[in-house]
Structure formats: C-alpha cells, structure tokens
Homo-oligomer: A and B are copies of this chain.
Amino acid sequence: MSAPRKPRATTAARPPASAQEALGRTTRQRSALLAIIAREARPLSPYELHELAVRELPSISQSTVYRNLRALEAAREIHAVSIPGQQPRYELAEIASHHHHHFHCRGCDRVYDLEGCPGGLRGLLPRGFTLEEHTIVLSGKCRTCAA
C-alpha cells in the first residue's frame, strides 16, 4: 500500500519519476494538476481544479480530476481540507503538514491559508472531554473582494 517515500526534490512540476512511483504513470494530466495545486498555494475544490486545468489541457475531464485527487491523496502528496458547508478542498501535503487554519471568502468563494493559531482551545473543553484536533475557519472578504 504505502510505499516508502524518497526525499523530495523541489517543486513537482517535473519531478524525478522515482518520487511518484506509488502513483503510477506521470501523465500530462497528473503533472498539470499537481503543478496547479502547487502554484495556486491555496486549497482547491475539485471544481476549481478542473476549471484551472482546462485552461492548459482543454479536454481534461472531471473524472480525471477526481481520479487523480484520490490517487494523490492516497500517495500523501496532497491533503483534504474541509470547510463547513463546502466541498472538500485539496492542498499540498507539505503545506498541510504544518499547523495552520483557513479563511473562506464569501465574495469569491476561495479558501486561503492563514498563518498561526490562537491557542488556548483546551480551556474550552468540558471536563472529561479529550481533544484530538481542532479546526478554525474565518470568513469574510478577501483583499480583492473587500476592495
């Protein structure tokens, strides 16, 4: 199942074939999808991803987007982010691996990464409850939409 992972090279636009071994073939579609996810640097929904991908590969299908998201997630290349009431979004596992939170813009519906964490959350817990994880989502307008 999970193959040992070799140290990363740089960005995944045209990575050494060996790094993606568990993923199977490096197709134009997969490379483009991964490049887009890396380039945008924000969590993307399957729909957003397909929209962006179509610009470079006009015939790429939604199925291919879904199939690759699944494969990339299984291979731990990307990570799913869920926002209340929204489709899941995906970002590079590398980004997801350091603790951060998200901002959802009500204007453009994009999700952005936020640095930092307020902490002090354990104090909210009732007695006897155990904390394993937490999610914080701020919402409002991003710079562009606020202007």
Contact = CB atoms under 8 A, between A and B. Distances in A.
Interface of A: 82-85, 88, 101, 103, 105-106, 112, 114-121, 123-143, 146-147
Given A82-B85, A112-B129, A118-B123, 12 more contacts: A84-B135, A103-B125, A103-B126, A106-B132, A114-B126, A116-B123, A125-B140, A129-B141, A131-B139, A131-B140, A135-B137, A136-B136
Given A84-B82, A84-B84, A119-B118, A131 B124 contact: no
A46 B12 CA distance: 43
A139 B146 contact: no
Given A136-B136, A138-B134, A101 B124 contact: yes
Contact of A126 (B121, B124, B127, B143): B143
